[in-house]
Amino acid sequence: MALIASLRMVLAPPHRAGYPFIAAGAAVTLVGLLVSHWLFWLGLAFTLFALYFFRDPERVTPKRPGFAVAPADGHVCSIMMAPPPPELGIGSEPRFRVAIFLSVIDVHVNRIPAAGLVTKIAYHVGTFVSANLDKASDENERNAVALRLADGRDLAVVQIAGLIARRILCDLREGDAVATGQRFGIIRFGSRTDLYLPPGVIPLVELGQTMIGGETIIADLSPAPVLSLEQT
């Protein structure tokens, strides 16, 4: 079963953002068949890499409401208190930020961490330092999305370009109603995704833990129960 799951992951259909790269690689491969062996192998290698990098496997998102799931594959490279990006306008109160670093071999399709309403999308032009550094959250080029939960609280997910990433794609529009685990964009090639939890929510993951986008539970968003005087 594990082998079948691994094969499904590797052989998953590509995200549409990869079509131009796959087509270009295939064209070079075909030309290489006619004119040059080294061009053929170069084109084939690039085509296979593009197919692997842009793979977009199906995910099984937890059905129980109230959970925030990982917005990306990769590993947790930082857990710290930080204010959300100021361009989102959801306040400056520090909250837990879980940062996920995506290597070039990780699935790069981003997913919605929790159901809600997209209230703000803000693109910020920045630098391209290594995405596993803490300063990447503030200095790198990024696309920030604010989500309003059903209970009125806000969380934010931020797509961050990395050292070699130069393109962030986001399919959302302000006012969109989104579901937990829904695909919403992709970053190419190598990047980082930050999740800012609502104030008071504590992450359930650990530093270095491997994330599976749309599946791994990052936090329980259920408000803490209010105790009555009789219960205290």
Same domain, 32 and 99: no
Residue of 15 and 232 predicted with greater confidence: 15
Same domain, yes or no, for 19 and 41? yes
Q: Is the separation of the CB atoms in 205 and 197 below 8 Å?
A: no
* Whether residue 89 has pLDDT greater than 60: yes
Domain shared by 176 and 129, yes or no: yes
Q: What is the DSSP string of the chain?
A: -HHHHHHHHHTPPBPGGGHHHHHHHHHHHHHHHHH-HHHHHHHHHHHHHHHHHTB--------STTEEE-SSSEEEEEEEEEPPPGGG-S----EEEEEEEE-TTS--EEE-SS-EEEEEEEEE--B---TTSTTHHHHB-EEEEEEE-TTS-EEEEEEEE-SS--EEEE---TT-EE-TT-EEEEEESSEEEEEEPPTT--B---TT-EE-TTTSEEEE-SPPPPPPTTT-
User: Could you tell me if residue 207 is inside a domain?
Assistant: yes
| Measured torsion, CA atoms of residues 82, 84, 90, 92, in degrees rounded to the nearest 10 | 40
The count of structural domains within the chain is 2
- Does residue 122 register a pLDDT over 60? yes
Q: Domain range for residue 146?
A: 67-220
- Per the rule left: phi > 0, alpha: psi between -120 and 50, beta: everything else, 85 is beta
Identify the CATH number of the domain in which residue 124 sits. 2.70.70
Task: Write the Ramachandran bin of 51: left for phi over 0, alpha for psi from -120 to 50, otherwise beta.
Answer: alpha
- Per-residue pLDDT band at 116 (split at 50, 70, 90): very high
Percent of the chain clearing pLDDT 90 (strictly above): 58
Query: Does any domain span residue 60?
Result: no
Residues 88 and 161 both lie in one domain:
yes
pLDDT digits (tens, 9 = 90+) for 3-36: 445 545 556 787 888 888 899 999 999 998 888 8
Candidate from 7-16, 66-75, 202-211 with smallest mean pLDDT: 7-16
Q: Are residues 47 and 77 in the same domain?
A: no
Residue with tokens 């009125």: 152
Average pLDDT of the chain to the nearest whole number: 86
User: Do residues 43 and 130 both lie within one domain?
Assistant: no
Q: pLDDT confidence of 164, banded at 50, 70, 90? A: low
Same domain, 127 and 171: yes
Residue 226 belongs to a domain: no
The pLDDT score that the predictor gives to residue 103 is 87
- Percent of the chain predicted with pLDDT > 70: 83
- Shared domain for 8 and 93, answered yes or no, is no
Residue 2: pLDDT band (50, 70, 90) is very low
Same domain, 71 and 49: no
pTM of the model as a whole: 0.85
- Residues 87, 132, single domain; the answer is yes
Tell me whether residue 191 is one of the annotated catalytic residues.
Answer: yes
Instruction: Write down the catalytic residue from 92, 191, 222, 228.
Output: 191
* 42 and 73 share one domain: no
Same domain, 195 and 112: yes
Q: Is residue 16 part of a domain?
A: yes
User: Is residue 153 pLDDT above 60, yes or no?
Assistant: yes
